Amino acid sequence: MPETPSTDTPDGFAAFGLIPPLLATLEQVGHKRPSTIQVQAIPPLLKGRDVLVASQTGSGKTAAFVLPMLQILSKGESAHGPRALILEPTRELAAQTAAVCRQLGRRLSLKTRVICGGTSREQQVRSIVDGVDIVVATHGRLLDLVMQGDLVLEYLSYLVLDEADRLLDEDFSESMTALTPYFPDVPPQTVFCSATLPEPVMDLAKRVTRDPVRVEVAAETFTPKKIRQRAMFVEKEDKPETVARILERFPGRSMVFTRTKANVDLLARVLRKHNIKSETLHGDRSQGARNKALDLFRQGRVPVLVTTDIASRGLDISDVDLVINMDMPETPEAYVHRIGRTARAGKKGAAFSLINIDERLSLRDIEKHIGYRIRIATEDALDT
């Protein structure tokens, strides 16, 4: 059984024994007190222990594994390859995590590079030629560079599998099997992060960690006081126009989720006809286009983001007032992740779900999962 750490909360980050450059940076960026997950994870990581982190997005998990990594690397010698590897399920999360590494490590002479598909391979190879300490990667491009000899992993001392429950597809399993021979003989210190810990995830955790300290923060409950949840019955073909009418009535920052890339593009066309500015996010868009869409939405220059579940977890998007499920998600857990984009940092928000006759059972499953009956409303009564 993994060991469980103490939950005594220290008075600020200094109590962890972090080095002065990290403490100065934390103060500069406004991180005054550690979150619960940081209190539990940072001390064992600084001692070199493997850690199994179970927490939802927004818990401060990234800083929890980045701060000890930066401190450990700052005390070691540079090498002819990365000493830390962070594996992420998507390019967006890789870019976001790398930004945290650079922000928190700004007073340290450590180089962070992103290795992922969707951008120039040659450019990424050039970026690591002059040395790299931390690689944040998606597994496909990482495997490509390693197998072609452009990147060596034999100096790794710190490994993070982030959002591990999203890394369980067959492609990732094959990549990990192919990467294993390139890892150092002495297994690196490993951090294993997952929002949930079903049996397949725990099986992977047991394979990659050694006697881990288990850090678990209970999933946030979504109450009617915090997120106003409503469902309305809408015929499938009427959904895009219904979404447009709702968005016309509810100004503010909104995210609309669909099940397919085709529906993302379909809805975007309908919104254009209604003169509603929107950006789209799905796997078929180039990395540059995806980054631009996120930036425009984050900056408030475009009020609506239409997306697949690629944006339901992990991405740092604040001040979302409304989430609309044009299509119901595949699982109740995905519903919780989607509506969790709103009502963050103590603010209120709303989540509206459009349900056709084939999706009624999905609504019942969600209600069982969240322990709350979602009120059925008409389009006119959504704001009550």
Residues 231, 212 within the same domain = no
Average pLDDT over residues 144-169: 92
What is the model's pLDDT at position 38? Answer: 92
What is the model's pLDDT at position 370? Answer: 81
Q: Are 175 and 139 in contact (CB under 8 A)?
A: yes
Where is average pLDDT lowest: 1-15, 67-81, 191-205, 360-374? Answer: 1-15
Q: How many domains does the structure of the chain reveal?
A: 2
d(C-alpha 170, C-alpha 140), whole Å: 12
Residue 282 maps to a domain: yes
Residues 281, 188 within the same domain = no
pLDDT greater than 80 at residue 346: no
Question: Tens digits of per-residue pLDDT, 312-326?
Answer: 776 777 789 999 999
pTM above 0.85, yes or no: no
List of residues 6+ apart from 177 with CB closer than 8 A? none
Residue 221 maps to a domain: no
d(C-alpha 219, C-alpha 55), whole Å: 7
Residues 166, 245 within the same domain = no
pLDDT greater than 70 at residue 57: no
Q: Are 50 and 193 in contact (CB under 8 A)?
A: no
Q: Are 124 and 146 in contact (CB under 8 A)?
A: no
- Which is more confidently placed, 301 or 196? 301
Residue 316 maps to a domain: yes
What is the model's pLDDT at position 2? Answer: 59
Q: Would you tell me how many other CB atoms lie within 10 Å of the CB of residue 109?
A: 9
Give the E-state strand segments of the chain in sequence order.
Answer: 51-54, 84-87, 112-115, 134-137, 158-161, 189-194, 213-216, 227-233, 254-257, 278-281, 304-307, 322-325, 349-355, 375-376
Residue 371 maps to a domain: yes
Residues 200, 273 within the same domain = no
Angle at the Cα of 103 from the Cα atoms of 97 and 109, rounded to 5 degrees:
105
Residue 1's pLDDT band, with cuts at 50, 70 and 90, is very low
Residues 68, 26 within the same domain = yes
Average pLDDT over residues 228-251: 94
Residues 109, 232 within the same domain = no
Residues 206, 241 within the same domain = no
Domain range enclosing 282: 227-381
Residue 121 maps to a domain: yes
Residue 290 maps to a domain: yes
Average pLDDT over residues 167-195: 88
Residues 30, 153 within the same domain = yes
What is the model's pLDDT at position 58? Answer: 63
Given 149, 183, 216, the domain boundary residue is 216
Residue 88's pLDDT band, with cuts at 50, 70 and 90, is very high
Given 169, 184, 216, the domain boundary residue is 216
Residue 2 maps to a domain: no
Residue 3 maps to a domain: no
Residues 266, 154 within the same domain = no
What is the model's pLDDT at position 30? Answer: 82
Residue 94's pLDDT band, with cuts at 50, 70 and 90, is very high
What is the model's pLDDT at position 200? Answer: 84
Helix axes 36-46, 61-74, angle to 10 degrees: 20
DSSP calls for 79-93: -SS-SEEEE-SSHHH
State which amino acid sits at residue 72: I
Question: Tens digits of per-residue pLDDT, 2-27?
Answer: 555 544 433 589 999 999 999 999 99
d(C-alpha 116, C-alpha 254), whole Å: 28
Question: Tens digits of per-residue pLDDT, 254-267?
Answer: 999 999 999 999 99
Question: Tens digits of per-residue pLDDT, 236-245?
Answer: 999 999 999 9
Residues 253, 202 within the same domain = no
Domain at 301, CATH number: 3.40.50.300
Given 168, 192, 216, the domain boundary residue is 216
CA gyration radius for the chain? 22
Residue 291's pLDDT band, with cuts at 50, 70 and 90, is confident
What is the model's pLDDT at position 384? Answer: 61
Question: Tens digits of per-residue pLDDT, 184-219?
Answer: 999 999 999 987 787 888 888 898 899 999 998 765
d(C-alpha 37, C-alpha 53), whole Å: 8
Mean pLDDT of the chain: 88
Helix ranges (DSSP H) in 49-120: 61-74, 91-104
- Reference 93, options 261, 281, 253; nearest CA is 281
Q: Are 29 and 187 in contact (CB under 8 A)?
A: no
Q: Would you tell me how many other CB atoms lie within 10 Å of the CB of residue 11?
A: 8
- Reference 153, options 119, 128, 173, 172; nearest CA is 128
What is the model's pLDDT at position 113? Answer: 96
Cα distance between the two ends of the chain: 48
Residues 260, 344 within the same domain = yes
- Which is more confidently placed, 200 or 154? 154
pLDDT greater than 70 at residue 284: yes
Average pLDDT over residues 340-365: 86
Residues 349, 245 within the same domain = yes
What is the model's pLDDT at position 10? Answer: 38
